[in-house]
Structures are given as C-alpha cells and as structure tokens.
Amino acid sequence: MRSIPAGDTRERAVCVTCGFIDYQNPRVIVGSVVVHHGHVLLCRRAIEPRRGFWTLPAGFLELGETIAEGAAREAWEEAEARIAIEGVLAIYSIGRIGQVQIIHRARFADLANPHIAAGPESAEVGLFAWAEIPWPDLAFPSVHWALTAWHAGRDAPLGAPATNPPAGL
C-alpha cells in the first residue's frame, strides 16, 4: 500500500503487515566522453531503449564500484576500450526518469595503440570528429549535452562539472 510513513513527507510503498518502507531512489548512470586525437568514441546501441541510436559508453553503476571504475567498466563492456579517466566532465539530474548521470572526460589508456570493438550491448562503435557526430541519431539528450560540454572545454583543464542545460534545450 502507498502511504506517507510517520516522520516522512513523501508517499512511499509501505508493507501493511510488517511496516517495511520500500524507498525508491534514483539510479546512478556512469559514462565517459572518450577522446583520441579530437575524435569521440560513440557506440550504436544494440539494445533498448533507443536501439540503433548512438550513445557514449555508459550504464548503471554497480554496487561496490567507484564512479570512475564504473565508467571504465562500461567503456570495456560496450566498446572493448581500456580507458584512463581524467575527471568528472558533467553531472546531470534527470528527475522524470529517476537518474543521476555522471559523465567523465577520458582518453584511451594506451594512446599509441587504442583498441575498440563492439561489445554485447553495441551494434558498432566508432571514433567521430566533431563534424561527423551523427547528431540526429544520438540516443538521449544527455549525450548531446555531454558532447557539447566536452567540446566547450576540450582544450582546458577540467573545472566545475557541467549540469543540466536550461529547460527547453
């Protein structure tokens, strides 16, 4: 049953038998804008949602991982890319779907011999120059936001993370 537990201000799922409160909190998504000689790593999704559209290597943070470890794991799972995290590029809060997305700026761990290949959740992967990014075929608004944030600060040290753009963008 849904009710407002004593001492709380939000309606929650509460077991009428034992009083257990099922707190549901946002999911944390971790990913990265991986760049090599000005080209960005993108993955064409082989799974829903948005199968066939392009995205950054990203996914759900697992228990026991740091956000950097999770982003590196996702790059390996989706693009077989070994990456080095440079820092946090952006933090997006997407309340309508209950997600907090933490996007890193990264490079390949082996700059002399970067390797990419489609993992099980990707139909294909590629490195794209800014002018080649398939903007109409990006899977999610936050991919566009993260790419734009990277491009705006691509030659500068990381500063404060980018956040959600103003409504309507």
Tens-digit pLDDT string for the chain (169 aa): 999 999 999 999 999 999 999 999 999 999 999 999 999 999 999 999 999 999 999 999 999 999 999 999 999 999 999 999 999 999 999 999 999 999 999 999 999 999 999 999 999 999 999 999 999 999 999 999 999 999 999 999 999 999 999 875 5
Domain ranges of the chain: 25-152
What local confidence, expressed as pLDDT, does residue 136 receive? 98
Q: Give the separation between CA 114 and CA 92, rounded to whole angstroms.
A: 28
What local confidence, expressed as pLDDT, does residue 167 receive? 78
- CATH superfamily name and code, 25-152: Nucleoside Triphosphate Pyrophosphohydrolase (3.90.79.10)
DSSP calls for 83-106:
EEEEEEEEEEEEGGGTEEEEEEEE
What local confidence, expressed as pLDDT, does residue 168 receive? 58
Residues 92 and 163: beta-carbon distance below 8 Å:
yes
What local confidence, expressed as pLDDT, does residue 169 receive? 54
